[in-house]
Chain A
């Protein structure tokens, strides 16, 4: 059963009772964690859960709509910078979080309109989002001079903005979130987005998205305007990535050009691929697992983490297409079948 939860949870069927139990229990356990764990572990875990949000946006877009967008990191970075610049200018952190959702959504709507309504093929879309990301990073890195100011905030180019304001509690703006509170916020958002996407994929809208992934032309012949569906999914995923970016900037506290970078983009792909893109829970596990692996490689004094990430990526593409958890599930199911036959 546990295996089923991880590997073979088909997201277009309504979840069984044990799924609700699993999600509820995990949420409770995660929310209670700050009581029992050291502060530095909590702080590390917070960043993993923030990354899990980014991984969710990617797996929704790639695994369920068939759009492989490298632009998720662009929206991640935009969310981070959007929050930082607005919060520093106005001091209203709650409003800035919503701005960090809206700005990437607007940007993804514009870029997505040109790509999706231009009907360029999926693979070109991947490459163009990659190019957009690269150029945004270059652009942000070039803003080091005094003349690059938004409101009262200097963009600082290469160095990023280190003075990201912490999040304040919406109903009492004099109190900031504690580390534990911020951890719990990240957990709540991750679980909400996970359950929300899972439910969304059950609706008619979600089913149309999956059918576009399976066969776009056939879906169009059935009378659905696939462009509308793809664009809206692209924008939604952009918003989730932006939220993740804002939280990451707060966590830092740093809004840095690296948030847009190719390294981060590679991370997202690897999380989702390793976790298994045909599930929503897999990428969450992938994000946490790979980030932990990177941390561990770092503490082992291995200088070149990309070297190993590259190996992992090649290995998974060539040998374990489905991702780690589903592959393990398939191997186990195969073994079970063999045993039964005897």
Chain B
């Protein structure tokens, strides 16, 4: 029984991690079709903001939201300075954001040094039979689900969400209906960055903040969103569910590296069978 609970916890944790790191990318890449290779560095920035704010004496929960906001604003800055000139030129976006990624890793290492800045995990452990489970991991899973549901509701039930979805489906028609598409692109990019910033901040107590943090998660994020396919959120949930299960079980039995490799293996096979991703057969949507 304990064994089952531990497996469920492992899978849940993996699933939450996949959702957290890929949700921002699902918005930026899945919906906007902007390949943002600096996504991992947005995660890293969120982690650093959160560390700095908590070290200044602010409680972790407020720090998480503040860092989300800060990374969101940073995302808007990036969109205005770089991305807005490159819409439609996918390969160029990819290269420019890679440049941004190197720039940020170099800059942060310069300022903070290569060591890991860590803050203590705020909650204790819960015993599950012979094992114990960190309470904070459960909070992390809750955060992942809350962000997911929040994003879905924002896109599905608000006027802003409707405008965003319309703009992403056909920018010309939206523009001719009087929508400022440039502004919408900017805000959507900012929103995606904010989600990533929050994810980075939520991860800090578990993994700490270090300059090359992003590199470790960017692969996870991209395979999740690509395998998800056309429908950014639904696809991400299903891909994260699949990969989270595989990763959770394999990583528990073997090691985390083997877990990640098996996820990649499954993803490549999956894309051979379903080149447009899990939701490729559906129309574009949320």
Contact = CB atoms under 8 A, between A and B. Distances in A.
A312 B96 CA distance: 10
Contacts of B85: 318
B202 to A, nearest CB: 23
B275 A314 contact: no
B99 A314 contact: yes
Contacts of A126: 35, 91, 94
Contact of B271 (A114, A123, A307): A114
Contacts of B257: 138-139, 142
Contacts of A122: 91
A150 B104 CA distance: 38
Contacts of A162: none
Contact of A127 (B222, B269, B275): B222
A314 B109 contact: no
A205 interface: no
A127 B92 CA distance: 13
Interface residues of A, number: 42
A306 B269 contact: no
Interface string A305-329: 1111111111101100100000000
B260 interface: yes
B99 A127 contact: no
Given A131-B223, A134-B219, A304 B110 contact: yes
Nearest to A314: B99
Interface string B118-140: 00000000000000000000000
Contacts of B149: none
Interface in A107-165: 111, 114-115, 117-120, 122-124, 126-128, 130-132, 134-135, 138-139, 142
B126 to A, nearest CB: 30
A317 B226 contact: no
A308 B86 CA distance: 21
A196 interface: no
A68 interface: yes
B82 A318 contact: yes
Interface string A275-315: 00000000000000000000000000001111111111111
B268 A309 contact: no
Interface in A231-274: 262, 266, 269, 273
Contact of B100 (A128, A262, A314): A314
Contacts of B101: 310
Interface string B263-283: 010011101110100000000
B226 A127 contact: yes
A114 B260 contact: no
A317 B272 contact: no
Nearest to B101: A310
Contacts of A135: 219, 260-261, 264
Nearest to B93: A317
Q: SS class of chain A's interface: helix, strand, loop or mixed? A: helix
Interface in A15-35: none
B150 interface: no
A127 B104 CA distance: 20
In this complex, which of A134, A269, A308 has the most chain B Cβ atoms within 10 angstroms of its Cβ?
A134
Contacts of A142: 255, 257
In this complex, which of A117, A128, A303 has the most chain B Cβ atoms within 10 angstroms of its Cβ?
A128
A134 B94 contact: no
B129 to A, nearest CB: 30
Nearest to A133: B219
Contacts of B99: 309-315, 317
B268 A128 contact: yes
A278 to B, nearest CB: 14
A312 to B, nearest CB: 7
B95 A132 contact: no
B211 to A, nearest CB: 10
Given A307-B106, A318-B85, A273 B95 contact: yes
Contacts of B261: 135, 138-139
B28 interface: no
Given A126-B91, A134-B215, A311-B103, A303 B268 contact: no
B65 interface: no
A272 to B, nearest CB: 10
A114 B215 contact: no
A311 B85 CA distance: 16
Contact of A124 (B86, B95, B271): B271
Interface in B28-55: 35, 37
Contacts of B222: 127, 130-131
Given A123-B94, A310-B100, A310-B104, A128 B82 contact: no
Nearest to A135: B264
Kindly list the 6 A-B residue pairs having the minimum CB-CB distance in the complex, ordered from nearest.
A307-B106, A310-B103, A313-B99, A310-B102, A314-B99, A306-B106
23 contacts: A68-B94, A114-B272, A118-B271, A123-B94, A124-B226, A127-B226, A128-B268, A128-B271, A131-B222, A131-B223, A135-B260, A138-B260, A138-B261, A139-B257, A142-B255, A266-B102, A304-B110, A306-B109, A307-B103, A310-B101, A314-B82, A314-B99, A317-B86
